[in-house]
Structure 1
Amino acid sequence: MQNLLTSAQLKMADVFTIQKQSISSVELMERAALAFVETFSEAFFERKNHIAILCGQGNNGGDGLAIARLLTQGGYMRVKVYLINFSTKQSEDYTKNLERLTKRKINPIPISKAEELNELKADIVIDAVLGSGLNQPLAGEYAALADIINRLSQKVISVDVPTGMPPEGELPEVYNGIKADLVICFQQPKLNFFFPESVKALTKFKVVDIGLDEGFIANQQSDWKLTTESDIQNRIKPRANFSHKGTYGHALLVAGNYTTMGAALLAASACLHVGAGLTTVCLPQSGLIALNTALPEVMALPRNEQLAIEAFEKFNAIAIGPGMGLEEENEMLLARLIELKKPLIVDADALTILSKRKELFDALPPQSILTPHVKEFDRLFGLHQNWWQRIKTAQKEAKQRSLVIILKNQYTFICLPNGEVHVNPTGNPAMASGGMGDVLTGLIVGLAAQSYTAANAAILAVYLHGQAGDELAKTRFTVNASALALQIPKTIQKILD
């Protein structure tokens, strides 16, 4: 897992790298500027573009000055540099890069008031005003500048972080910083890039390697981890010779109701296609024809009030909730499953039941997995003002209750009992359609049945779910849940090849 660091820790990585590699801070800045320009040039290769570079007086502005010089050297002849002189202080590396720029006979334009940019004309604006040290909303001339830039129709590219966006911590309810079409960030993403509120500050980001010491980064204490494909490769267990259906476990899905059998079918399909040896769905009698027709490989356990607890003891992993309904008999069934004292995967309607029956929630066996979307999460744990607060609550509750909590979104967060928060990078807006959560639940229980730990089942399922969606989205505008479930074996094989 890639360690994700705070901005303060990344500054420590800068210092360590400078010392270990015997380079100066301005040389590291040059390296960052080169990496920025390479990525910028790939996205905006037309050298005739009018480019306006706004440079603050700190190190972010120093990056901007170096970028201006390198772009000009690279053939971009319509580059104008604006010095945002709203402060009396200049960083040392800013001053050095300003000297280098003027030696190239590039004369920057000093700006002492934001209103001087009202008539700014450019095809592309590069935002290098304020960097990652900011932890409060913009004020004064900086706020006025951001307002002017946001009213322009030009593309805005931010250096490392949009001006006005805190790199971690609670994002303000009203964001008054610069909105970037693209952020080219150094070494790794800022933590807040993964939160839904970041849409107010940026559309997308790209990470460029500037050669910070990876050993130092890996050794830092951080609860935040980014899942990579190599992590998934290392966790997937290859199918062994002479193995059989019994080798890969028996999964049970308690799912579906009279009008919601689709949820059960989607979850069962995902469980089947992720490799569970046997899959059974505990469903109403009315769903038997649909199940047998759609998925003949899947077995049925008709759901009724007479089901004794012994009927569930043979299963290696149990998931409950997709399309199940909120009837009293389903509450009783959830209570019986909790009495087994085996870890459960709890989703959808079962989460709603837990939010109403706190005694059942408190009795959940350790290593159970919860898969809430935002509204389900707040029903369980109380209202939250933002996603940073939710993750902090999930982190605390996962530790206290020894649970795995999967908080679903474009970047899904997986909170583990050891306090770690794993950020999943796969998935895309084409997947915004019904049934996706049912497929995810099926993947988790299918993996859990194969003896994956709760943490690994969650990490693998979320990554595979998003990666399958990414592969399908290459050739289609939207991705439906049925197609996603069928894609899973292909996605796993691609990762293993």
Structure 2
Amino acid sequence: MRTLLTSAQMRSADQFTIAHKPIASIDLMEKAARAFVQSFLRDEFDTTKSVAIFCGKGNNGGDGLAIAHLLLTNGYVNIKIYIVNFSSRQSDDFAINLQRIDESRCKKVEINQPSELKNLKADLIIDAILGSGLNKTLTGHYEELVQAINKLNKKVYAVDAPTGFFAEGKLPKVYNGIKAYKTISFQRPKINFFFPESAEATEKFEVVEIDLDESFIQKQDTGFYLIEETDIEKLLHPRKLFSHKGTYGHALIIAGNTNTMGAALLSSMACLHAGAGLTTACIPAIGLTALNTTLPEVMALPRDEYTRIENPKKYQCIAIGPGLGTDAENEKLLESLIQAKQPLIIDADALNILGEKPDLIEKLAPNSILTPHVKEFDRLFGEHESWWDRVQSAREQAKKLKIVIVLKNQYTFICLPTGKVLINPTGNPAMAQGGMGDILTGIIAGFVAQQHSATNAAILACYIHGKAGDHLAHNHFVVTASQVAIRISEEIKILISK
């Protein structure tokens, strides 16, 4: 897993690299500029376009100056640099690159007041004003200049981080920084790129390597980690000779109701394709025909108002909630399972029941897994003003209750009993369809049944769920939950074979 760093930690990584590579800071800046330009040219290969580069007087501005020089050498001829002269201070590397730009005779103007920005007609803008490290909302000249740039409605590429964007920590309710089309970030993505509020600052981001010392970065003490494909490959193993259905565990899926049998079918299908040896769906009797017709491999345990799971220990995994309903009998069923002190996977309506009966949350068995979306999470643990606050609460609750909380979003946050937060990078907007949460619950159940730990089951399920959706999105505008379920086994096979 890739350790994600705060701005302060990234500056430390710069300094460590400069001291131990060894490499001069100006040369490291040149590497960063080259990496930026390589990414930029893949998107913007038409060198006849005009480019306006806004440079502050710190190292982010130094990056911008180096980028301007490299774009000139790569065939861009219509480049204009705007030096944002709102401070008397400048970094040493900025000064060195400014001298190089002067020698190149590139067009350059100073902006001493925001009102001096007039009649800008560039096709593209590169933002190298402040970069990362800002921890307060823009005010004064900087705010005025940024608003003027945003009003131009041009395609903006941000260097490392958009000006005015907090790299980590609670984001302001009203964002007043640069609104970038794309941010090209150095060595690591900013932690806040994974939070929904970041969509106000940048439509997309790309990370480029600049040869910072990786061993130093990986040793940093941080609570945020990005899951990589190599992590998944290490957790998956081929099936062995002489194994049988009992080898791969028995999962019980308690789901579905009169009008929501689809949720039970989807969860059961996903569990099946994730590899559980046996899958039993505990469903209302009205759904038996649908189950037997659609999923003949899945066994049924008919559910009525008197149903209690007499011997929960016979199952290696119990998942409850998709399409369940929140009536009194389902409350009693959930409560009886919690009292059995067996770890559970709890989703959807079972989460809503917990939200109404918070005393039950405290009784959850260690290594249980909760899979809430944002509204379900806030019903459980209270309203939150920001996603940063929400994730901090999830960390605290996972640690306190000794459970795993899978907080679902575009980038899902897997909060562990250790206090660590693992961020899943797979998945895409084409998957914004009903039933996707049911599929994820089923996949988690399939992996828990196969004796994966709660942590590893959550990691595997989130990554493979999103990866299946990513593959399907190449050829589909919309990806359905059923398509994802069917793709799961193939995705696992590909990952195991690498």
TM-score, reference length from structure 1: 0.99
**Matching of residue 96 in structure 1 with residue 67 in structure 2:** no
C-alpha distance in 2 between matches for 1:465 and 1:453: 18
Q: Residue 267 of structure 1 corresponds to which residue in structure 2?
A: 267
Q: Residue 343 of structure 2 corresponds to which residue in structure 1?
A: 343
Deviation at 1:170, TM superposition (A): 0.5
C-alpha distance in 1 between matches for 2:494 and 2:457: 19
Secondary structure, aligned partner of 1:395: helix
Structure 1 gaps of 5+ residues are none
Q: Residue 453 of structure 1 corresponds to which residue in structure 2?
A: 453
Deviation at 1:236, TM superposition (A): 1.0
Q: Residue 415 of structure 2 corresponds to which residue in structure 1?
A: 415
CA contact (8 A) 1:405 1:416 kept: yes
C-alpha distance in 2 between matches for 1:322 and 1:214: 42
Q: Residue 78 of structure 2 corresponds to which residue in structure 1?
A: 78
**Matching of residue 467 in structure 1 with residue 467 in structure 2:** yes
Q: Residue 124 of structure 2 corresponds to which residue in structure 1?
A: 124
Q: Residue 168 of structure 1 corresponds to which residue in structure 2?
A: 168
CA deviations 1:230-284 (Å, max 9, x no partner) are: 0000011221111111000000000000000000000000000000000001011
The amino acid of 1:201's aligned partner reads: A
Secondary structure, aligned partner of 1:310: coil
Q: Residue 393 of structure 1 corresponds to which residue in structure 2?
A: 393
**Matching of residue 250 in structure 1 with residue 250 in structure 2:** yes
**Matching of residue 26 in structure 1 with residue 26 in structure 2:** yes
C-alpha distance in 2 between matches for 1:174 and 1:490: 43
C-alpha distance in 2 between matches for 1:188 and 1:15: 16
CA contact (8 A) 1:169 1:388 kept: yes
CA contact (8 A) 1:424 1:462 kept: yes
C-alpha distance in 2 between matches for 1:484 and 1:107: 52
Name the count of aligned residue pairs.
Answer: 497
C-alpha distance in 2 between matches for 1:115 and 1:204: 30
CA contact (8 A) 2:237 2:496 kept: no
Deviation at 1:116, TM superposition (A): 1.9
The amino acid of 1:407's aligned partner reads: L
The amino acid of 1:353's aligned partner reads: I
Secondary structure, aligned partner of 2:158: strand
C-alpha distance in 2 between matches for 1:145 and 1:289: 65
Secondary structure, aligned partner of 2:125: strand
C-alpha distance in 2 between matches for 1:231 and 1:410: 20
Structure 2 gaps of 5+ residues are none
1:387–1:158 Cα change, 3 Å: same
1:132-151 equivalences under 5 Å are: 132-151=132-151
CA contact (8 A) 2:177 2:201 kept: yes
**Matching of residue 320 in structure 1 with residue 320 in structure 2:** yes
CA contact (8 A) 1:341 1:365 kept: yes
Q: Residue 359 of structure 1 corresponds to which residue in structure 2?
A: 359
C-alpha distance in 2 between matches for 1:308 and 1:110: 75
Q: Residue 403 of structure 1 corresponds to which residue in structure 2?
A: 403
1:149-164 equivalences under 5 Å are: 149-164=149-164
CA contact (8 A) 2:306 2:329 kept: no
C-alpha distance in 2 between matches for 1:140 and 1:2: 37
Q: Residue 213 of structure 1 corresponds to which residue in structure 2?
A: 213
CA deviations 1:431-475 (Å, max 9, x no partner) are: 001000000000001100000000000010000010000000000
Deviation at 1:227, TM superposition (A): 0.3
CA contact (8 A) 1:345 1:370 kept: yes
C-alpha distance in 1 between matches for 2:115 and 2:49: 24
1:64-75 equivalences under 5 Å are: 64-75=64-75
Secondary structure, aligned partner of 1:366: coil
CA contact (8 A) 2:264 2:281 kept: yes
Q: Residue 40 of structure 1 corresponds to which residue in structure 2?
A: 40
The amino acid of 1:315's aligned partner reads: Y
C-alpha distance in 1 between matches for 2:292 and 2:402: 37
> Runs of 4+ in structure 1 displaced over 4 angstroms?
none
Secondary structure, aligned partner of 1:81: strand
CA contact (8 A) 2:313 2:342 kept: no
CA deviations 1:135-166 (Å, max 9, x no partner) are: 11111111111111111132100000000001
C-alpha distance in 2 between matches for 1:324 and 1:146: 50
C-alpha distance in 2 between matches for 1:53 and 1:73: 15
Q: Residue 177 of structure 1 corresponds to which residue in structure 2?
A: 177
CA contact (8 A) 1:85 1:110 kept: yes
C-alpha distance in 2 between matches for 1:358 and 1:413: 22
Q: Residue 303 of structure 1 corresponds to which residue in structure 2?
A: 303
Q: Residue 8 of structure 1 corresponds to which residue in structure 2?
A: 8
Q: Residue 482 of structure 2 corresponds to which residue in structure 1?
A: 482
Deviation at 1:294, TM superposition (A): 0.6
C-alpha distance in 2 between matches for 1:125 and 1:131: 14
C-alpha distance in 1 between matches for 2:180 and 2:496: 37
CA contact (8 A) 1:225 1:422 kept: yes
Deviation at 1:103, TM superposition (A): 1.2
CA contact (8 A) 1:56 1:85 kept: yes
CA contact (8 A) 1:118 1:148 kept: no
Secondary structure, aligned partner of 1:53: strand
CA contact (8 A) 2:54 2:125 kept: yes
Secondary structure, aligned partner of 2:314: coil
C-alpha distance in 2 between matches for 1:239 and 1:23: 48
Deviation at 1:177, TM superposition (A): 0.3
Q: Residue 289 of structure 1 corresponds to which residue in structure 2?
A: 289
- Bigger shift: residues 144-153 or 453-462: 144-153
The amino acid of 1:354's aligned partner reads: L
C-alpha distance in 2 between matches for 1:312 and 1:131: 54
Deviation at 1:133, TM superposition (A): 1.7
Deviation at 1:309, TM superposition (A): 3.9
C-alpha distance in 2 between matches for 1:168 and 1:242: 50
C-alpha distance in 2 between matches for 1:358 and 1:125: 51
C-alpha distance in 2 between matches for 1:393 and 1:308: 33
Q: Residue 426 of structure 2 corresponds to which residue in structure 1?
A: 426
CA contact (8 A) 1:266 1:439 kept: yes
Secondary structure, aligned partner of 2:171: coil
The amino acid of 1:418's aligned partner reads: T
CA contact (8 A) 1:309 1:340 kept: no
Deviation at 1:43, TM superposition (A): 0.8
Deviation at 1:118, TM superposition (A): 3.3
